[in-house]
């Protein structure tokens, strides 16, 4: 008898994406889409734009007081967002 190397479809797809150089853009897209879920609906309502550049998440907030409040929670939000995608995608958040 021989033993087969059984792998999940998820592992095979992620390995294929990694080989093609598409894993990081996919995870970045998931992280951007996770902003309303992680930050909450109330904060998402005042968010006008979310982008990633050089491992920094740039979030445009329309209310200055909320922007200041979120700046104090920056490291906690970075951890929650990275945990959501199960990878170290961002290292900082900047609120504009």
pLDDT tens sequence across 6-50: 888 888 888 887 888 788 888 999 999 999 999 999 999 999 999
Tell me which residue of 91, 90, 87 sits closest to 18, measured CA to CA: 87
Q: Which residues pair with 51 in a beta bridge?
A: 58
pTM of the model: 0.81
According to DSSP, the β-strands at 56-61 and 92-95 are parallel
């Amino acid at each position: 008898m021989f033993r087969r190397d059984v792998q999940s479809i998820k592992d095979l797809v992620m390995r294929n994406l990694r080989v093609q150089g598409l894993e990081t853009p996919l995870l970045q897209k998931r992280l951007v889409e996770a902003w309303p879920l992680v930050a909450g609906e109330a904060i998402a309502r005042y968010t006008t734009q979310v982008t990633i550049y050089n491992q920094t998440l740039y979030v445009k907030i329309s209310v200055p007081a909320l922007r200041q409040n979120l700046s104090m929670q920056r490291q906690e939000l970075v951890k929650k967002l990275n945990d959501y995608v199960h990878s170290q995608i961002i290292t900082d958040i900047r609120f504009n």
